[in-house]
Amino acid sequence: MNGSKPERLVCVGAHAADMEFTAGAVVANYTRAGHHSTFLHLTLGERGHRSLPPADYAEQKKAEAARAAAILGAEARWFDIPDGELLADEPTKRRIAVALRELRPTILIAHWRGSIHKDHIAAHAMMDDARFYACLGAIPLPGDLPPAPYCRIYYADNWEDPYGFVPEVYVDTTDTHEQWVEACSAYEIFRPGGAGFRYQDYYRALSVCRGAVAGFPHAVAFMKPQALLQAKGDLLP
Ligand SMILES: [Zn+2]
């Protein structure tokens, strides 16, 4: 870690696979450098299979999520909220907040709000409040854990969250690109023909497009919250 303090990345996705596909290569960058990372899937995305019943696909997704995280050097967690029924309600915000107090992220990766998917919109809508609850010790939460440290939020570059997404931060993922492909391939939907949407084609091509802009063979882009765009100093940045 070159003497720098250890970071703790927590990637909160609406469905298992969302965060591995979008941010997995960056997670691998961090875990390779000795930092800690966790994928928190709010639902498993178990209702999206073309033929498997949701209960069977849920078991498959759990195995896929665990394998993908292991390949990336990360941990995987998931809630038992049904796919398609994620609500931005108080109980779910507090449930995420408890997880944040347990995991104590220094960096949080979340969905951008401009999404075509209701679960993604709900996941985005909960993050600021969940972080607020996690960080404010005066908010009582189950477990009585100490408050989480304040953490930065970055929004992932997800094909289903395109409206208003502006790539603002580019991370060189060249060294972990193949590791990321292997991890994502743990998911059936990433493998060729595994889903109606061509996930692998899209995200591999996106890594080249973002890399072309940033001057790297492969890159992953993120958007920042408005507050992080503020620069402070006595001269122009
Ligand atoms: Zn999703």
In angstroms, what is the span from residue 230 Cα to ligand 1's centroid? 30
CA of 48 to the centre of ligand 1 (A): 10
Residue 144: the pLDDT is 87
Characterise 147 by phi-psi region: left (phi > 0), alpha (psi -120 to 50), beta (else). beta
| Residue numbers in the chain where pLDDT is lower than 50 | none
Tell me the C-alpha distance between 112 and 165, whole Å: 7
Say how many Å lie between the CA of residue 144 and the centre of ligand 1: 31
Instruction: Give the pLDDT confidence score for residue 232 in this predicted structure.
Output: 83
pLDDT tens track for 42-92: 999 999 899 999 999 999 999 999 999 999 999 999 999 999 999 999 999
CA of 146 to the centre of ligand 1 (A): 31
- The CA 153 to ligand 1 mean position distance, Å, reads 18
| Residue type at 210 in one-letter notation | R
Q: What is the pLDDT of residue 181?
A: 98
pLDDT score, position 122: 98
The neighbouring-strand residues paired with 112 are none
Residue 19 CA to ligand 1 center (angstroms) comes to 9
Cα 162 to ligand 1 centroid, rounded to whole Å: 13
What pLDDT does 2 receive? 52
Q: Say which residue the tokens 């620069």 belong to.
A: 231
- Under 8 Å between Cβ of 65 and 16: yes
Helix axes 177-184, 18-32, angle to 10 degrees: 140
* Prediction pTM value: 0.95
Q: How far is the CA of 132 from the centre of ligand 1 (A)?
A: 24
> How far is ligand 1, taken at its centre, from the CA of residue 140, in Å?
30
pLDDT at 131: 97
Angle in degrees, CA 155, 119, 144, rounded to 5: 75
Q: How far is the CA of 173 from the centre of ligand 1 (A)?
A: 22
Instruction: Measure the CA–CA gap between 45 and 147, rounded to whole angstroms.
Output: 30
Q: Which of 154, 130, 153, 127 is closest to 141 using CA atoms?
A: 130
Residue-level pLDDT at 233: 87
Cα 200 to averaged position of ligand 1 atoms, centre (Å): 15
Residue in the structure block whose two tokens are 């997880």: 99
